[in-house]
Amino acid sequence: MLEVRRDGELIAQLDTTRSGRLVCVYSDHVVDEFPGGTPLLSCSLPVSTQPQDASGWTRGLLPEGRHLAGVAAAADLAASDTYGLLARYGRDIAGAFEVIEGNAAPRTPTIDAYTEESLATELAAVEENPLGIHDDSELSIAGLQDKLLVVRTADGRWARPRYGYPSSHILKLESGPHTGLLRAEAAGLELGRRVGLVTFDSWLEVIGEQEVLVVERFDRASVDGAVKRLHQEDLLQSLGIQPEGRQGRAKYQELGTAGPPSWWHLADRLDSYAEDRNHQLGELLRVMVFNLVLGNADAHAKNLALILEGGHAALAPLYDVAPTQLWPRLRRTQALTIADKNDPEAITIHDLHTEAARWSVSRAIAEPLVGDVLALIREASQDLDHPEVSALVGSNIDRLIMGT
């Protein structure tokens, strides 16, 4: 039996069925404390007295592709063994909870400080050793990009989390043949900060001979010098969908269908669980516009997330905002369609208004909001330390306005 804990408190238990699905059962005190339907672990796992299928939420806590294969091999487990992988790596996962095997021996979370040389060596080996797994590593994060999970110490040094110590930052590496993508993503995050859609810090740093993008985790906070976990889930988890569905394309919307996933499904989650529905849907519209003009066609259901706290959901800050349009061989069509279109060059301002109307955001609200965010993004992009990204954003805004 796997235990789901928050700050040491038992919240739920996970067990497997004969078919291999993971089932979640909330603890009695949770059922007594929270109203039924509260999105505690996930919008797809609201508080209930009944067992619920947790396969989508739990599978979404694991890496994807060769990274999943790598961490599975390191644990001598099958990549399909969600239960076994979470028993091995579930103590430091995305969000506020830990997943711990019920009969596991107690371990004390701690850190191991890197030297500049040891960190450079670790980074150089990430392609062969995804996430830099050691025997004492108990961590997991979704995604396909080469990265390390690290802790930023009080004196500004880097350390390796051991035995489930909560990581505070992600070191992302340039990966694949798309040279320059890391710097472009850094510019995208900076632009997001300038328009208020990115709330965490990020910067480029050279470690050894490698340039890395340092990203502060938005699901972590520093409280009295300690790292505190905050809860979040991506859109695919909130829908209870496993990433491997549809031959690994479950995070993308199929053209000509209503999804899931889709922008509407994310809007529906906010409509159902947000404290301030109108504000949150307005923020979602800003996010959709931002990704479009940045040229980020890869805003899929694992790159959009919700913050869950106090029984409510709010849109998470933007992350993974690379302008894929600068690389012709990267994804060119929209991961989630806008007004039934996935060709970004065919999408108009009218289509943005139409998509918002599907979320019950009136044209009277959507029209000025879209105009304001386009003006804000244009101004904020003028002096980015990346001329290509600035030019791309400007040309995409011009196209939208002229195509109105």
Q: Is the pLDDT of residue 134 over 80?
A: yes
Q: Is the pLDDT of residue 404 over 70?
A: no
In tens, the pLDDT along 240-255 reads: 999 999 998 999 999 9
- Contacts of residue 77, defined as CB under 8 A and 6 or more positions apart, other chains included, come to 84, 85, 88
Domain boundary among 101, 126, 156: 101
Q: In this structure, which amino acid lies at residue 288?
A: M
| Tokens found for residue 306 | 């919700």
CB 63 within 8 A of CB 141: yes
Domain boundary among 49, 77, 101: 101
* Pair 260, 391 in one domain: yes
* Lowest mean pLDDT segment, chosen from 219-223, 328-332, 347-351, 356-360: 328-332
* Pair 326, 214 in one domain: no
* Pair 357, 386 in one domain: yes
pLDDT of residue 341: 97
* Pair 138, 218 in one domain: yes
Number of domains in the chain: 3
Does 324 reside within a domain?
yes
In tens, the pLDDT along 9-55 reads: 999 999 998 888 999 999 999 999 999 999 999 999 999 999 999 99
* Pair 357, 382 in one domain: yes
* Pair 141, 222 in one domain: yes
Does 240 reside within a domain?
no
pLDDT of residue 49: 98
* Pair 267, 391 in one domain: yes
Question: What is the arithmetic mean of pLDDT over 81-86?
Answer: 96
Of all residues in the chain, the percent with pLDDT exceeding 70 is: 100
Does 238 reside within a domain?
no
C-alpha dihedral (191, 316, 196, 175), degrees to nearest 10: -10
Domain boundary among 101, 126, 146: 101
Does 236 reside within a domain?
no
Does 54 reside within a domain?
yes
Q: Is the pLDDT of residue 306 over 70?
A: yes
Q: What is the pTM of this model?
A: 0.96
* Pair 272, 396 in one domain: yes
Q: In this structure, which amino acid lies at residue 120?
A: A
Range of the domain at 362: 253-402
pLDDT of residue 3: 98
Please give the Cα distance from 104 to 33 (Å, whole number): 27
Does 390 reside within a domain?
yes
pLDDT of residue 18: 83
* Pair 200, 117 in one domain: yes
In tens, the pLDDT along 175-193 reads: 777 789 999 999 999 999 9
pLDDT of residue 226: 83
* Pair 258, 380 in one domain: yes
* Pair 394, 270 in one domain: yes
- 10 Å CB burial of residue 367 (0-12, 13-18, 19+) is middle
Does 235 reside within a domain?
no
Does 321 reside within a domain?
yes
**Whole-number mean pLDDT of the chain?**
95
* Pair 267, 352 in one domain: yes
The residue with greater pLDDT, 103 or 77, is: 77
